[in-house]
């Protein structure tokens, strides 16, 4: 069975413990490879390597850093088919989605930040003939980057690329649930000529490896994407150590549909925003709020289209909904469907595990599920489920839908469907979320800030704000007389 390795100080190495964790193929529910069960000793080695490389890397001209990072981006593009296949097996997502979204975006992360750093500038402030201030932006040091399983290489590189472009060195931990593409990234970095120690990847469990990165005194900055509970735990360790912290956390995003929308476009996009990646995208619209005059029509059409979605093995060309990521996650999602029924909800379609015959019968497949009849403030409508499960609710007035949309502890993303431009801007202005998509979903311009409000996180990644995060401003004031 394949054993993956840590990437420390430019080499692929075994964990010190020599212990390994099972890695499951969710489409078959079977172990197919082994991941290092690393601990704080491996993290210490990685931090030592990253610290030793920092002076050299932060003093490497940015043009040269950019060249190496772009080489990594191009190598990801050259290996698109292989990476997509591995990500699909590791995660359970349809292969076409990995090919279309995940891997191209991982390459784009490197290409965008490699070229972006060349245009990143700091300010000067003149005090007429008294003094001149200039601001230096200096890389913070060793960055700790921790990422989740839902968009494995996409989110891993979304942190690593701007950190490296800024001149930081990195100790990174991918999710133990989907480690494979991060392992291939280590090989790509070696081929691209990334100097040793600049990027270190330590595989293993969150409470062991993640915790050791967060609490290491030589890691002054943490960029984390994952669940809100884990984020709170990380903040409780990092805050008293005064670390720079970016937390990209959970969501319970509203998809607001007004009667005056472009109905066909809305319906087609709502299928994606509900069930793409088995609903395991932090930006999926899991609460669908529909103006009452079109509610019944929407319900009929949405249920009919959802029933047509092919649930199946991720590598099949016609699969629209693959396997969810793990057995425990599948059970969590099913427990929410049960909760929804206890809370008075009616399952309009789906709601069950789907068994696929043959080799895939142990796989973690769920039927895409639509639930109606729940109040906006029940647990099903307030807590993140993170699976192919959405609720639909009617509304009558704009103020009412805004109240419902803003009622959760989360504030990551939202979608608004209307042809009335004034209403669109008015509603966007009132929604408590880091992103509002109007008449679209998941359209991302990498120059724009990304992140959530409330329990969806603190800090912003994306665009040049990522460079602000991975660098520290230092003002130098020179008196002229
Ligand atoms: P998770 O919080 O369980 O794990 C995320 C990462 O943190 C993993 O690498 C894990 O090993 C690590 N970790 C776990 N415990 C840790 C600890 N004590 N100390 C340090 N690290 C630890 O999240 P998940 O289940 O992998 O991902 C799903 C969650 O991520 C969902 O809530 C989803 O909304 C969220 N998410 C948010 C965004 C965003 O941009 N806001 C993007 C994707 C996913």
Domain locations in the chain as residue ranges: 2-249+456-479, 254-445
d(CA 353, CA 272): 20
Over the chain (481 residues), the average pLDDT of each successive run of 10 is 95 98 98 98 99 98 98 98 98 98 98 98 95 97 98 98 98 98 98 98 98 98 98 98 98 98 98 98 98 98 98 98 98 98 98 96 98 98 98 98 98 98 98 98 96 95 93 97 95
The finding on whether 226 has its CB within 6 A of some atom of ligand 1 is yes
User: Using an 8 Å Cβ cutoff, are 6 and 14 in contact?
Assistant: yes
User: Using an 8 Å Cβ cutoff, are 231 and 249 in contact?
Assistant: yes
Q: Which of 177, 245, 238, 174 is nearest to 386 (CA)?
A: 177
359 C-beta neighbours (distance < 10 Å), count: 11
Q: DSSP class of residue 450?
A: B
The pLDDT value recorded for residue 462 is 87
Nearest atom, ligand 1, residue 412 CA: 41
The finding on whether 234 has its CB within 6 A of some atom of ligand 1 is yes
Residues 6 or more apart from 304 whose CB is under 8 A from it?
none
Distance 334 CA to ligand 1 centre (A): 20
Residues 6 or more apart from 59 whose CB is under 8 A from it?
none
Please report how many Cα atoms fall inside a 13 Å half-sphere around the Cα of residue 194, on the Cβ side: 33
Distance 306 CA to ligand 1 centre (A): 28
The b-or-e profile of 311-337 (16+ CB within 10 A means b, else e) is bbbbebeebbbbbbbbeebbeebbebb
The finding on whether 148 has its CB within 6 A of some atom of ligand 1 is yes
Q: Which backbone phi and psi does 289 adopt, to 5 degrees?
A: -110, 120
Q: H or E segment at 111?
A: helix 103-116
Q: Which backbone phi and psi does 396 adopt, to 5 degrees?
A: -105, -40
Q: DSSP class of residue 461?
A: B
The pLDDT value recorded for residue 461 is 85
Helix axes 103-116, 62-78, angle to 10 degrees: 170
d(CA 422, CA 11): 56
Nearest CA to ligand 1 atom 36: 226
The pLDDT value recorded for residue 451 is 95
Nearest atom, ligand 1, residue 175 CA: 9
Nearest CA to ligand 1 atom 20: 210
The finding on whether 231 has its CB within 6 A of some atom of ligand 1 is no
Q: DSSP class of residue 193?
A: T
The finding on whether 149 has its CB within 6 A of some atom of ligand 1 is yes
d(CA 58, CA 166): 8
Distance 175 CA to ligand 1 centre (A): 8
Residues 6 or more apart from 425 whose CB is under 8 A from it?
none
The angle at the Cα of 37, spanning 201 to 197, to the nearest 5 degrees, equals 20
The finding on whether 206 has its CB within 6 A of some atom of ligand 1 is yes
Torsion of CA 253, 300, 306, 254, to 10 degrees: 0
Nearest CA to ligand 1 atom 12: 206
- Quickly list H helices, 193-253: 211-215, 228-238
Whether 284 is a known active-site residue: answer no
Catalytic residue among 87, 282, 284, 461: 282
Distance 173 CA to ligand 1 centre (A): 11
The finding on whether 200 has its CB within 6 A of some atom of ligand 1 is no
Distance 438 CA to ligand 1 centre (A): 28
Query: If you write DSSP's letter for every residue of 306-369 in order, what string do you get?
Result: HHHPPB--TTSTT-SB-B-S-HHHHHHHHHHHHHHHHTT-EEEE--SB---SGGGTTS-BB--E
Catalytic residue among 87, 248, 291, 384: 248
2-249+456-479 under CATH 3.40.605.10, yes or no: yes
Please report how many Cα atoms fall inside a 13 Å half-sphere around the Cα of residue 35, on the Cβ side: 28
User: Using an 8 Å Cβ cutoff, are 182 and 209 in contact?
Assistant: no
- The model scores a pTM over 0.95: yes
d(CA 408, CA 286): 12
Nearest CA to ligand 1 atom 15: 206
The finding on whether 249 has its CB within 6 A of some atom of ligand 1 is yes
Distance 359 CA to ligand 1 centre (A): 30
Q: Which of 282, 275, 284 is nearest to 320 (CA)?
A: 275
Topology of domain 254-445 in CATH is: Aldehyde Dehydrogenase; Chain A, domain 2 (3.40.309)
Distance 228 CA to ligand 1 centre (A): 8
Whether 176 is a known active-site residue: answer no
Q: What is the CA radius of gyration of the chain?
A: 23
The finding on whether 251 has its CB within 6 A of some atom of ligand 1 is yes
Q: Helix, strand, or coil here: 51?
A: helix
d(CA 6, CA 189): 13
The finding on whether 179 has its CB within 6 A of some atom of ligand 1 is no
Q: Which of 185, 220, 221 is nearest to 69 (CA)?
A: 185
């Amino acid at each position: 069975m394949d054993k993956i390795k840590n990437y420390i100080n430019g080499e692929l190495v075994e964990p010190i413990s020599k212990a390994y964790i099972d890695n499951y193929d969710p489409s078959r529910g079977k172990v197919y490879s082994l991941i290092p069960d690393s601990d704080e000793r491996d993290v210490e080695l990685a931090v030592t390597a990253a610290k030793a490389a920092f002076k050299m890397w932060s003093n490497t001209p940015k043009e040269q850093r950019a060249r190496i990072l772009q080489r990594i981006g191009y190598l990801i593009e050259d290996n698109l088919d292989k990476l997509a296949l591995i990500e699909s097996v590791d995660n359970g997502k349809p292969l076409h989605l990995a090919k279309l979204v995940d891997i191209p975006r991982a390459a784009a992360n490197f290409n965008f930040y490699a070229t972006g750093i060349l245009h990143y500038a700091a300010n000067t402030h003149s005090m007429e003939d008294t003094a001149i201030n200039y601001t230096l932006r200096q890389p913070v040091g060793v960055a700790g980057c921790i990422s989740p399983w839902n968009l494995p290489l996409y989110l891993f590189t979304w942190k690593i690329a701007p950190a490296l472009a800024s001149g930081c060195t990195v100790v990174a931990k991918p999710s133990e649930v989907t480690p494979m593409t991060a392992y291939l990234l280590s090989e790509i970095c070696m081929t691209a000529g990334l100097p040793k120690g600049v990027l270190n990847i330590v595989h293993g469990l969150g409470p062991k490896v993640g915790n050791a990165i967060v609490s290491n005194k030589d890691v002054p900055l943490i960029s984390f994407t994952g669940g809100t509970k884990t984020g709170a735990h990380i903040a409780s360790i990092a805050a008293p150590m005064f670390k720079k912290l970016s937390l990209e956390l959970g969501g319970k995003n509203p998809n607001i549909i007004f009667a005056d929308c472009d109905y066909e476009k809305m319906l087609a996009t709502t299928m994606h925003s509900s069930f793409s990646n088995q609903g395991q995208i932090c930006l999926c619209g899991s609460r669908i709020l529909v103006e009452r005059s079109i509610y019944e029509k929407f319900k009929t059409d949405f249920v009919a289209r959802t029933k047509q979605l092919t649930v199946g093995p991720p590598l099949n060309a016609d699969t629209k909904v693959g396997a969810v990521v793990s057995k425990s996650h599948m059970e969590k999602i099913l427990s929410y469907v049960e909760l929804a029924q206890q809370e008075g909800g009616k399952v309009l379609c789906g709601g069950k595990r789907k068994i696929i015959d043959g080799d895939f019968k142990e796989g973690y497949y769920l039927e895409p599920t639509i639930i109606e009849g729940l109040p906006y403030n029940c647990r099903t409508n307030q807590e993140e489920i993170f699976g192919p499960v959405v609720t639909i609710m009617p509304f009558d007035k704009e103020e009412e839908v805004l109240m419902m949309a803003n009622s959760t502890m989360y504030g990551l993303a939202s979608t608004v469907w209307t042809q009335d431009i004034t209403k669109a801007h008015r509603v966007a202005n009132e929604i408590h979320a880091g992103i509002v998509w109007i008449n679209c979903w998941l359209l991302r311009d990498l120059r724009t800030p990304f992140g959530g409000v409330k329990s969806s996180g603190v800090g912003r990644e994306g665009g040049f704000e990522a460079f602000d995060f991975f660098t520290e401003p230092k003002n130098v004031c020179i008196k002229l007389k």
